């Protein structure tokens, strides 16, 4: 059962990836300025960056930034040119969306992304300080993001290629994971692990193996890892505050309390919250 679920989840991720790659290929061919389609910054050649042209930057590190608060830039070097992406509210929202989707579908953390942006201006103020270039830095207005092998999205737009189908498939996969109504607390433990197997647990393993970033730590995957390792699997549900009824309305919540033992033999109890969404009970948040 678990192997079949894991295979289905991988197929869902692959669907997102295929849609992202197809969208990116089309974007590179059709996002044109007066000088034609998108220019790959790595293949710029002799022509300097020009107004009205869109450029594709590959393997951009979004953590590499400079500038003052409220005027931050993501900086990048390619083809002997210093580039920058203006870190405005729309780009910040897009980056947050990428990380949210990575967590939702169990994609591993990738430190570098591809970005398409349109020429905005060239300045001499930051080139040397930011990237060691004394001939200025070309600032782009970001248009789209691609995380290779995962997903793509356009900055400032809510649509994500392949997401509606992926959400529907993931919902169907979660449909069989329900809190038992009227069952004993011990029967709730498989619900947690089934949920982790489909979503959180694979994501957590990949994150921890790669070394979780500060952003990833926000989701507290280390708590799950530590609880499991310290307890050697000695984790059990002890009670819930509201019996999770099968006919509960959307928005209803059931808080489950989980007890585990640490390496010193001490017991700790923590809450996990399940929420009713679209007729299904799903794990919403909690710390072990």
pLDDT tens digits, residue range 198-236?
555 554 455 445 554 555 444 444 555 555 555 554 555
Residues 95 and 142 in one domain: yes
Residues 87 and 126 in one domain: yes
**Measuring CA to CA, how many Å separate 275 from each of 46, 120, 240, 271?**
57, 45, 13, 13
Q: Residue 249 pLDDT more than 60?
A: yes
**Measuring CA to CA, how many Å separate 120 from each of 74, 87, 183, 275?**
14, 13, 61, 45
Q: Residue 158 pLDDT more than 80?
A: yes
Q: What is the pLDDT of residue 225?
A: 52
* Confidence at 148, pLDDT banded by 50, 70, 90: very high
Query: Which range marks the domain in which residue 114 is found?
Result: 2-154
Q: Residue 242 pLDDT more than 60?
A: yes
Q: What is the pLDDT of residue 34?
A: 45
Q: What is the pLDDT of residue 135?
A: 67
Q: What is the pLDDT of residue 94?
A: 92
Q: What is the pLDDT of residue 50?
A: 75
Q: What is the pLDDT of residue 227?
A: 55
pLDDT digits (tens, 9 = 90+) for 15-53: 999 999 999 999 888 765 444 566 776 666 566 677 778
**Selected residue with higher pLDDT from 277 and 29:** 29
Mean pLDDT of 133-156: 87
Residues 84 and 39 in one domain: yes
Q: What is the pLDDT of residue 145?
A: 94
Count of CB atoms within 10 A of residue 284's CB?
Answer: 14
Residues 24 and 96 in one domain: yes
pLDDT digits (tens, 9 = 90+) for 7-16: 787 898 999 9
The DSSP code sequence of the chain is: -HHHHHHHHHHHHHHHHHHHHHHHHHHHHH--BTTBSPEEGGG-TTSPP-TT-EEEEEEE-TT-EES-TTS-EEEEEETTEEEEEE--HHHHHHHHHHHHHHHHHTPPP-S-EEEEEEEEEEESSSHHHHHS-SS-EEEEEEEEEEETTTEEEETT----TTHHHHHHHHHHHHTT--PPTT--GGGGHHHHHHHIIIIIHHHHHHHHHH---HHHHTTTHHHHHHHHHHHTT-EEEEEESS---TTPPTT-EEEEEEEEE-TTS-EEEEEEEEEEETTEEEEEEE--
- Is there a domain that residue 61 lies in? yes
Residues 180 and 65 in one domain: no
CA 109 to chain centre: 7
- Is there a domain that residue 227 lies in? yes
Domain containing 186 — which CATH number?
3.10.450
pTM: 0.62
Q: What is the pLDDT of residue 137?
A: 84
Mean pLDDT of 112-139: 74
The token duo for 53 is 């042209």
């Amino acid at each position: 059962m678990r192997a079949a679920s894991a295979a289905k989840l991988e197929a869902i991720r692959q669907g997102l990836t295929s849609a992202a790659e197809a969208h990116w290929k089309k974007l590179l061919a059709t996002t044109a300025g007066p000088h034609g389609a998108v220019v790959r910054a790595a293949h710029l050649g002799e022509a300097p960056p020009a107004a009205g042209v869109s450029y594709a930057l590959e393997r951009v590190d979004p953590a590499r930034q400079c500038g003052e608060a409220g005027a931050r830039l993501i900086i990048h070097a390619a083809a002997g040119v210093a580039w920058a992406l203006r870190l405005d509210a729309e780009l910040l929202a897009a980056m947050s969306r990428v990380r949210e989707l990575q967590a939702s579908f169990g994609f591993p953390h990738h430190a570098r992304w591809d970005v398409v942006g349109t020429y905005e201006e060239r300045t001499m103020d930051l080139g040397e300080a930011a990237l060691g270039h004394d001939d200025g830095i070309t600032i782009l207005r970001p248009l789209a993001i691609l995380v290779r092998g995962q997903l793509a999205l356009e900055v400032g737009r809510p649509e994500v290629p392949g997401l509606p189908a992926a959400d529907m498939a993931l919902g169907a996969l979660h449909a069989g994971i329900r809190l038992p109504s009227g069952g004993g607390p011990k029967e709730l433990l498989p619900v947690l692990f089934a949920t982790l197997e489909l979503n959180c647990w694979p994501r957590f393993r990949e994150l921890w193996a790669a070394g979780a970033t500060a952003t990833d730590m926000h989701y507290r995957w280390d708590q799950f890892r530590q609880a499991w390792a310290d307890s050697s699997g000695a984790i059990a549900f002890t009670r819930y505050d509201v019996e999770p009824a099968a006919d509960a309305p959307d928005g209803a919540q059931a808080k489950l309390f989980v007890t585990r033992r640490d390496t010193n033999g001490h017991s700790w109890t923590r809450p996990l919250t399940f929420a009713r969404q679209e007729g299904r009970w799903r794990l919403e948040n909690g710390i072990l």
